Chains A and B, each alone.
Chain A
Amino acid sequence: MNTSMLLGKLSLDALPFYSPIAAAGAAVIVFGGLGVIALITWLRAWPYLWREWFTSTDHKKIGMMYVGLALVMLMRGFVDALMMRAQQAMAMNAEGYLTPDHFQQIFSSHGTIMIFFMAMPFLFGLMNYVVPLQLGARDVAFPLMNAISFWLTAAGAALVMVSLVIGVFSTGGWSGYPPYTELSYSPTVGVDYWIMALLVSGVGTTLGAINLVVTIYKMRAPGMKLMQMPLFCWTALCASLLAVFALPGLTVAAGLLGLDRYLGMHFFTNDGGGNVMNYANLFWIFGHPEVYILILPAFGIFSSVIPTFSQKKLFGYNVLVYATMCIAVLSFTVWLHHFFTMGADANVNAFFGIMTMVIAVPTGVKVYDWILTMFRGRLRFDTPMLWSIAFIVTFVIGGMTGVILAIPPLDYVFHNTLFLIAHFHNMLIPGVLFGLFAGYAYWFPKATGFPLDEAWGRRAFIFWVVGFYLAFMPLYALGFTGAPRRMAYYDQPEWQIYFVIAAIGALSVLAGIICQVIQLVVSIRNRDRTTSFAGDPWGGQTLEWATSSPPPEYNFAVLPRVNSLDAFEEAKESGQPYVWPEKYDPIEVPRNSMTGVLLGGTSFVLGFAAVWHIWWLAALSLLGVIGIVIARSFATDTTRFISADEVKAHESRWRTAVLAQGKASS
């Protein structure tokens, strides 16, 4: 057996010694990873992590793992961003400190990570944690599938991270347009890493979305009608439906590109009858709904945060529901605006421009609904609310530039320029990331029992908002001059100052992220003083606050009866917010299972083997995946009961905490 059969294309050349900077990045990953492993071993935490987290099927723990993964990937994606800003600030008539090849890998991994391995897991984490609680349910519909979804997402993220150490990543950007990403123009393994990471995590995301859809349709508390669901559940439903219908577009596009690369087919090649325009259509039939998959749940978070901190009801609930549904449907009708410049007929371009503007209407209405929610309220400016207000003001700027790009003749001059980059960051940072941060701060005390430190939260907020404006407003200006995206260097002296300002903005964001790290450390350190088991720190309106913080594994000892919107707020109004019966029943919960970790791990090996053409290993791990699924199907004892005594003990401890808090406040 020769080495190429054993190791495929893998050899020592795969190590990143092509550039000292890439080698340093790889070293950070390797030694960071080894450090974490050593620390866990030293703390003897492996059994605890395995038992309580890795094998857990509890939607809350899976949700927290999703958020943890997202925060780690946020760091990685942000380091990429910082490196790009530094490069472009320096590279006026100079090479800068990065080679073009390295710079290209960085912008590709930045986009891929931020969309697929930061924003998506962050959202799925929050939806996983919060939706069942808001529905008054004990778990999601398919708890084991939930764990599998998470571990497949983690496997995809791990593939991207591994590409930093072994081999290279794609240079084709997050959208991976062929024919550039075909074998003839991108012969390295980079694009294969990109394809495998998306395919593996795409399965996870699809399963996760199906799970949420079924949960929302079938697992609502007794009495809860669809139009009595909190808005966040509505947005989670819309986003999940979008994911179920849109992700196949990506899977097909990436899959066909993979067939071209692996089996020499000609779907998108320059020759043999391939056509790149098919890829553009398939990718964006996924890509545009993807934007709404990201942003709708963030809208749901704002719709939870703004009423709570305005101490008032949400304005126009029905309208917001309809607007969300409208956006979800319309998001499938606008994909062509991503390539107005591909030579389509004026009628076609005008049609898709018009459809795109139609979407702006429900979105604009939503913004006014949030303002009217604050109108005649009593506004408290805790950090979740600060993120929400910054969102409203900043987002409309991005909305306006979005409509500009939706007008085909204007797109002809702005397409592919930094104006476009400024626009979608102006949507995704305030719209998605600020929403995620608002949700993180808002639900953190629910998940842990103690709040995030407010002072450090405010500092992070200020640095982030200032950093955002400094980093992206100059890019709008550069877009007017026709400065394209993805430049490793340039020769226009007057551009440099704008890139320098943008780099200063990125440094401000860095300060914001450092504040968030400090915030987490300080909050954990102060938890003895700040912990509250009672569970309703903000005066919440929805059911997730009607249980202890953190909630017990079964969420609700007695499933709440719901007959109105804002069920917890209504229960508080009626004077009977909590139900503590004399006698409790045992509660059935899913058992832990190692299926998720095993499937994630095996899928990672499958992806890695496919990237490097190690076919025996790929075949083995594919058999492993199939074997694990079959083996699991024979497991019959998949649930266990939490005894009535245990439930009672928890509930009375919670009751004591609630009553003590009531006394303290009265």
Chain B
Amino acid sequence: MFQDTMLDPAGPVSAATRDLLFESVGLMLIVVVPVFVLTAFVVWRYRAGNTSAAYTPRWNGSRLLEMGLWTVPVTIVVLLWFVVWNRTHELDPYRTIESDQPPLVVQVVALDWQWLFIYPEEEVASVNRLVFPVGRPLTIQLTSDSVMNSLLIPALGGQIYAMAGMQTELNLKADRIGVFEGRNTMFNGNGFSAQTFTVEAMDMAGYQAFLAEARTSPNALTEESFQTLAEPTVNGPLRLYSSVAPNLFHTIMGAHGSMPHTVAEPDMSSAPHHADHAR
């Protein structure tokens, strides 16, 4: 049931997320558990039938108790502030994961109701299938050719919206080999329920084999074939493309002209962290 989810993490982001969950729940239980215990005690002890219990009908406050009531949750919340501030920065989806290897950039286009993955370095692309080497950080750049989507890979962590005309980013990494599921979580119409994709974290040999397989594909991803691919499709097949039109990702983004100045931005390295268009 919880295999390959945040409770059984396959990467550093989901592992850190799980630890954060346990820490914050632990802190909150300091406030929550007493509520259960006290309610049970008070309800039993002060039931109307128990005339031996103390009864103070006009008692309506106590400065000391009230100070305590504010102090404890304030303390816990202040502790949580530090946790939130630090971890939100550490686990910022835009933050590149530290490694001796440069991140593998994958450009993702959300379609009705499929996922297109473009590998700009390798100039290949796949549909409904994200393959990458284990141990190497992954920088996923997202946009949408349709309505708002949201990409989540429970085994690795994450989740960020994909929006037309804009680019968002998600940094993930897998620490172990495995086949996981990724999906759209943002409702987007009739094919929503089936809009999943396969996530394959492979060893280097497996990844090379995948690239080789892609390069032998007879299909080329051009602007025209992209239009065919972008037709609304439910349960679309896994596909591979042996070539990708240059700057296709930015062309798709530019086609939804909400932000004209972002149209021509062919140089990948010139799209740094804080120039992301959703920001």
Asked whether B233 is an interface residue with its Cβ less than 8 Å from the other chain, the reply is: no
Chain A neighbourhood of B73, CB < 8 A: 360-361, 364-365
Q: A367-B35, A416-B185 are contacts. A381–B47 as well, Cβ < 8 Å?
A: yes
B145–chain A nearest beta-carbon distance, Å: 9
B274 vs chain A, min Cβ distance (A): 8
> Which one of B85-93, B206-214, B216-224, B242-250 contacts A?
B85-93
User: Bound state CA distance, A350 and B58, in angstroms?
Assistant: 44
Q: Does any Cβ of A come within 8 Å of B42's Cβ?
A: yes
Docked pose: A403 CA to B77 CA in angstroms: 10
Q: In the assembly, what is the distance between CA of A274 and CA of B164, in Å? A: 10
Residues of chain B from 213 to 239 with CB closer than 8 A to chain A in the complex = none
Residues of B near A347 (CB, < 8 A) are: 89
**Is B159 among interface residues, defined by CB-CB distance under 8 A?**
yes
Expressed in whole angstroms, the Cα–Cα distance for A416 and B183 within the complex equals: 11
Whether B5 contacts A480 by the Cβ 8 Å rule is yes
Contact of B84 among A312, A313, A407 (CB under 8 A): A407
Chain B residue at minimal CB-CB distance from A312: B57
Please measure, in the bound complex, the distance between the C-alpha atom of A271 and the C-alpha atom of B253, giving whole angstroms: 11
Closest chain-B Cβ to A542's Cβ sits at a distance in Å of 14
Residues of B within 8 A of A623 (CB): none
**B-side contacts of A415, CB under 8 Å:** 150, 159, 185
Contact A372 B65 (CB under 8 A): yes
Interface 0/1 of A390-421, CB less than 8 Å to B: 00110011011001101111101101110000
* B35 contacts A377, C-beta separation under 8 Å: no
Q: Do residues A371 and B60 form an inter-chain contact, with CB atoms below 8 A?
A: no
B137 adjacent to chain A (CB < 8 Å): no
For B65, the closest partner residue in chain A by CB is A372
Q: Is A189 an interface residue when CB atoms closer than 8 A count as contact?
A: no
Chain B residues contacting A171 (CB-CB under 8 Å) are: 189
Which parts of B81-136 form the interface with A (CB within 8 Å)?
81, 83-85, 87-95
Q: Which of B94, B189, B191, B278 has the most CB of A within 10 A?
A: B189
Q: Which residues of A have CB within 8 Å of B274?
A: 345
Given the interface pairs A342-B278, A482-B154, the reply to whether A389 lies near B185 with Cβ below 8 Å is no
B10: chain A residues at CB < 8 Å are: none
Instruction: For the complex, give the distance between the alpha carbons of A369 and B62 in Å.
Output: 11
In the assembled complex, the Cα of A466 lies from the Cα of B202 at a distance in Å of: 46
Give the complex CA separation of A179 and B164 in angstroms: 9
Query: Scoring A residues 367 to 396 as 1 if CB is less than 8 Å from chain B, else 0, what string do you get?
Result: 111011011111111000000010011001
In the complex where A371-B35, A374-B46 touch, is A271 in contact with B258 (Cβ < 8 A)? yes
Contact indicator B164/A341 (Cβ below 8 Å) = no
**Is the interface on chain A under 10, 10 to 19, 20 to 34, or 35 or more residues?**
35 or more
**Are B2 and A480 within 8 A (Cβ)?**
yes
Closest B residue to A377 by CB, please name it.
B46
Residues in chain B near residue A178, CB distance under 8 A: 147
- Is A596 an interface position by the 8 A CB rule? no
Q: Which of B17-42 contact A (CB under 8 A)?
A: 17, 20-21, 24-25, 28-29, 31-32, 35-36, 38-39, 42
Alpha-carbon gap, A416 to B193, bound state (A): 13
Residue in B47, B56, B95 whose CB lies within 8 Å of A312: B56
A272 at the interface (CB under 8 A from B): yes
B92 to chain A, nearest CB (A): 4
Contacts of B32 in A (CB 8 A): 396-397, 399-400
CB of A454 closer than 8 Å to a CB of B: no
CA distance A274 to B91 in the complex (A): 30
Partner of B187, one of A343, A375, A400, A485: A485
A275 beta carbon closer than 8 Å to chain B: yes
Question: Complex Cα distance A360/B160, Å?
Answer: 26
Contact call B80/A341, Cβ cutoff below 8 A: no
Most buried by B among A314, A341, A485, A489: A341
Cβ A409 vs Cβ B87 within 8 A: yes
Let me know if B57 and A377 touch, CB within 8 A.
yes
By the criterion CB–CB under 8 Å, are B59 and A416 in contact? no
Residues of A within 8 A of B92 (CB): 346, 349
| Minimal beta-carbon separation of B10 from chain A (angstroms) | 12
B residues in contact with A481, CB < 8 Å? 1-2, 5, 154
A100 within 8 A of B: yes
Complex Cα–Cα for A409 and B158 (A): 8
Docked pose: A319 CA to B66 CA in angstroms: 8
Say whether chain B's binding surface is mostly helix, strand, loop, or mixed.
mixed
Contact status of A343 and B36, CB under 8 A, knowing A368-B69, A376-B54: no
B38 to A276, Cβ gap below 8 A?
A: no
Query: Could you tell me if B24 and A413 are in contact, using CB atoms closer than 8 angstroms?
Result: no
B205 interfacial contact with A, CB 8 Å? no
Check B163 for interface membership: any CB of A closer than 8 A.
Answer: yes
CB of B199, distance to nearest CB on chain A (Å)? 12
Contact B60 A403 (CB under 8 A): no
Q: How far is the CA of A662 from the CA of B9 in the complex (A)?
A: 68
User: A16 interface residue, CB < 8 Å from B?
Assistant: no
In the bound complex, residues from chain B placing their C-beta under 8 Å from that of A311 are 48, 57
Partner of B279, one of A270, A345, A361, A490: A345
Cβ-based interface call for B61 (8 A): yes
Write the nearest CB–CB distance from A236 to chain B, whole angstroms: 21
Please tell me if the beta carbons of B57 and A392 are within 8 angstroms of each other in the complex. no
A308-338 near B? 1/0 per residue, CB < 8 Å: 0011111111110000000000000000000
Which B residues are CB-close (under 8 A) to A310?
46
- Chain A residue numbers with a CB within 8 Å of B157 are 412-413
A349 near B70 (CB under 8 angstroms)? Answer: no
How far is B122's CA from A345's CA once the two chains are assembled, in angstroms?
30
Q: Is the CB of A313 within 8 A of B80?
A: no
Answer whether residue B257 sits at the interface, using C-beta atoms and an 8 A cutoff: yes
Which residues from B are CB-within-8-Å of A270?
146-147, 164-165, 256, 258
Known: A365-B70, A486-B192. A343 touches B168 (CB 8 A): yes
| Chain A residues whose C-beta falls within 8 Å of the C-beta of B21 in the assembled complex | 404, 410
What is the bound-complex CA distance between A172 and B46, given in angstroms? Answer: 49
A634 within 8 A of B: no
Check if A214 is an interface residue, CB within 8 A of chain B. no
- Name the A residues within 8 Å of B43 (CB-CB): 374, 379, 389
Residues of A within 8 A of B81 (CB): 354, 357
Given A341-B161, A372-B65, A416 contacting B84 (CB threshold 8 A): no
Distance of A314 Cα from B70 Cα, bound (Å): 17
Q: Are B183 and A317 in contact (CB under 8 A)?
A: no
C-alpha gap A534/B258 in the complex (Å): 67
CB of B88 within 8 A of CB of A313, answer no
A410 neighbours in B (Cβ, 8 Å): 17, 20-21, 24
Q: Which of B36, B58, B70 has the most CB of A within 10 A?
A: B70
Instruction: Check: A494 CB closer than 8 A to any chain B CB.
Output: yes
A277 within 8 Å of B (CB atoms) = yes
- Tell me if B14 counts as interface (CB < 8 A to partner A): yes
Given A100-B192, A315-B61, A271 contacting B256 (CB threshold 8 A) = yes
- Shortest C-beta distance, B253 to chain A (Å), equals 11
Inter-chain contacts of B70 with A (CB < 8 A):
361, 365
Q: Does B186 contact A (CB under 8 A)?
A: yes
A270 to B255, CA, bound (A): 9
For the complex, what is the distance from the CA of A372 to the CA of B7, rounded to whole Å?
A: 37
Q: Contact check, A486 vs B6: say whether CB atoms are below 8 A apart.
A: no
Nearest Cβ on chain A to B176's Cβ, whole angstroms: 18
Complex: chain A residue closest to B188, CB-CB: A180
Q: Does A444 contact B (CB under 8 A)?
A: no
A488 contacts the other chain (CB 8 A): yes
Residues of A within 8 A of B187 (CB): 104, 172-173, 180, 484-486
7 A/B residue pairs, CB under 8 Å, sorted by A: A104-B187, A270-B146, A396-B31, A397-B32, A412-B17, A415-B159, A485-B187
Beyond A270-B146, A379-B42, 6 additional pairs, beta carbon < 8 A: A100-B190, A312-B58, A345-B274, A371-B39, A392-B35, A413-B154
**Shortest beta-carbon contacts, A-B, top 7:** A482-B154, A416-B185, A343-B278, A409-B91, A313-B60, A350-B88, A484-B185
Measured CB to CB, the residues of A under 8 A from B are 100-101, 104, 171-173, 177-180, 185, 270-277, 310-319, 339, 341-347, 349-350, 353-354, 357-358, 360-361, 364-365, 367-369, 371-372, 374-381, 389, 392-393, 396-397, 399-400, 403-404, 406-410, 412-413, 415-417, 477, 480-482, 484-491, 494
